[in-house]
Structure 1
């Protein structure tokens, strides 16, 4: 690797990079964090970390609970407000609300809409199903793009210059079928997605959970997001997987039409069988 490549890996603004790292760890943490714990997990000097969290507190992005001499930090919902405004502006979450609901009711499984944000998939809408058991999926959820059917369905249709940076961010799965291949295996998987028109993920991100998803496209013919179905692996039998794929491909074709994508710009896929 030459010096220019190394320089390209360094953030343009180290201060902003550190602030975002702190904020991301606060959001991802399952419990409140002390300043010492936050500095340790982010590998940021304690004094710098303190300056960042105090600024986040002043701007309304973090808050703290004081117990004796200890301060416990957590994020606020201000980020959610910004994200919600962004989703409303894009209006994707409302483009097929009733159809997502109908498909969820037909399959007895939740239907999600996701978009790519960096190297992650963000869930922007969900049509849930009634019942005691609910999957840990919700609007605003973030997941690694390569471990979800939603992310794979989107990645398969990215332009090469958009896909290339993502190939160095392949996240290992925790499920029993977690993929062990690297870049080459993932590119082969994306070729399968393009051939069939939909993506699958079977107990790769986590045990007992599988999903299938299909992409939709915007007015310029560029992939804009994906719709997916999530279910227990035991319930998503081959027949039900095909039913889900058929329903999703039909729905994403309609969503693409509503977003202004010309019919001739839609990719041609083999029939679901």
Structure 2
């Protein structure tokens, strides 16, 4: 059995001031536009000068910071060793499996196939799928590509792209073949993206092809940038009213889970209703 002091420590989970200060220094060095003197760094982080000095010298010894000496001044900057750690982490994150249990649960809850998609140029690539049982199967599979503007996945991602990434995509919008295909202009698509942002999820209803509809919500990486989307696909006659609401809440919930696992701060995520 655990000792009383161990139980008390586990219960309180008090944060470490030393770790907090160390991370604050690293974050400030990384986000700074130029090298920083020790005095400027201590002032910016509100950490005592002696403590700040101890932190940066430790970072230097471990290879995470470097300094440039000019006269009596020392200018500090982060090194690419931090990038090396981040790169290893990124390689370990497999979007096809990062939320597979939740994707499976979503597909079962709405009785429609669920997907994860990412943007590649002007197309959406399906990287994961949780299928449903039954004779009828939709033509969606990992590796499939579709025009970004004709899928809910692509619209959910595009709605949160920075302008310099979105604008080039709007010059090559693809027209839909479905009966509900509408105005294919860039202006109309921008209005559609405003709707996506206002409600937190995207819808495509018989625009790409007849009788098929989809709903999707975006997820974000550790820097708050949109990284992909979670969606469900079904017959248009089924994705209506309460079933559409349930699907929308479900994709938002799974997207929030993916965002958290990619390092996006929980406080920056929407709070979807739990549906399964």
TM-score range (shorter-chain normalised) is: 0.5 to 0.7
The CA RMSD over aligned residues, in Å, is 1.9
Corresponding position of 1:262 = 265
User: Which residues of 2 match residues 98-109 of structure 1 at below 5 A?
Assistant: 98-109=101-112
Q: Deviations over 1:131-167 (max 9, x none)?
A: 1100000000000000000000000000110101100
2:116: which partner in 1? 113
**TM (normalized to structure 1)?**
0.65
Match of 1:253 in 2: 256
Q: Please state whether the residue corresponding to 2:178 is helix, strand or coil.
A: coil
Q: TM-score, normalised by structure 2?
A: 0.64
Instruction: Find the residue that maps to 2:96 and give its secondary structure.
Output: helix
1:148-163 superposed matches below 5 A: 148-163=151-166
Are 2:126 and 1:123 aligned? Answer: yes
**Which residue of 1 is the match for residue 217 of structure 2?**
214
Structure 1: gaps (5+ residues): 1-86
1:195–1:269 CA contact under 8 A, matched in 2: no
* Alignment equivalent of 1:166, drawn from 164, 169, 182: 169
Distance in 1 (CA, whole Å) between partners of 2:182 and 2:272 is: 25
Aligned pairs, number: 185
Tell me the CA shift for residue 174 of structure 1.
0.2
Q: 2:243 aligns with which of 240, 245, 265?
A: 240
Q: CA deviation at 1:217?
A: 0.4
Q: In the TM superposition, what is the alpha-carbon distance from 1:269 to its structure 2 partner?
A: 8.3
> Which portions of structure 1, spanning 4 or more consecutive aligned residues, are displaced by more than 4 angstroms?
87-90, 268-272
Q: Secondary structure at the match of 2:188?
A: helix
- The structure whose Rg is larger is 2
CA distance in 2, matches of 1:113, 1:270: 18
In the alignment, the residues of structure 1 paired with residue 272 and residue 186 of structure 2 have an alpha-carbon distance, to the nearest angstrom, of 25
Offset, 1:260: 0.3
Separation (CA, whole Å) in 1 of partners of 2:241 and 2:150? 20
Q: Give structure 2 stretches of 5+ with no counterpart.
A: 1-89
